[in-house]
């Protein structure tokens, strides 16, 4: 989501705006292309299951409407392997189709 709005520290901003930062509560960003939401839930679960935290907040957002289709495809393709996949002509939508 960060590359679409040129804001890569969204977790810290949300922690600050919600008042969590003043209590020194950590904010963590999870990035895993189309699997970010699922991985964030897993990380939250693991933090509780391990006893590291008693309560976690997991959230996510994606905003792709303010860029052109070409820009969107380029941004999404940055999650692919640049040396093998995109170099050989694969696009991120085509990789999901596989």
Residue 50: the pLDDT is 98
pLDDT, one tens digit per residue, over 24-35 is 888 888 888 778
**pLDDT for 5-52, tens place per residue?**
676 777 888 888 888 888 888 888 888 877 888 999 999 999 999 999
Percent of the chain with pLDDT over 70: 95
Helix (H, G, I), strand (E, B) or coil at 93: helix
Contact 15, 27 (CB under 8 A): yes
Q: Are 95 and 80 in contact (CB under 8 A)?
A: yes
Q: What is the pTM of this model?
A: 0.68
48 CB-side CA count, 13 A: 10
Mean pLDDT of the chain: 82
């Amino acid at each position: 989501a960060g590359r679409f709005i040129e804001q890569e520290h969204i977790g810290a901003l949300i922690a600050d705006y919600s008042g969590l930062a003043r209590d020194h509560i950590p904010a963590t960003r999870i990035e895993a292309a189309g699997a970010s939401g699922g991985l964030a839930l897993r990380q939250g679960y693991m933090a509780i299951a391990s006893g590291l935290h008693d309560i976690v907040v997991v959230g996510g957002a994606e905003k792709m409407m303010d860029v052109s289709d070409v820009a969107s495809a380029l941004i999404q393709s940055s999650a692919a392997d640049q040396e093998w996949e995109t170099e050989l002509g694969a696009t991120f939508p085509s990789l999901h189709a596989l």
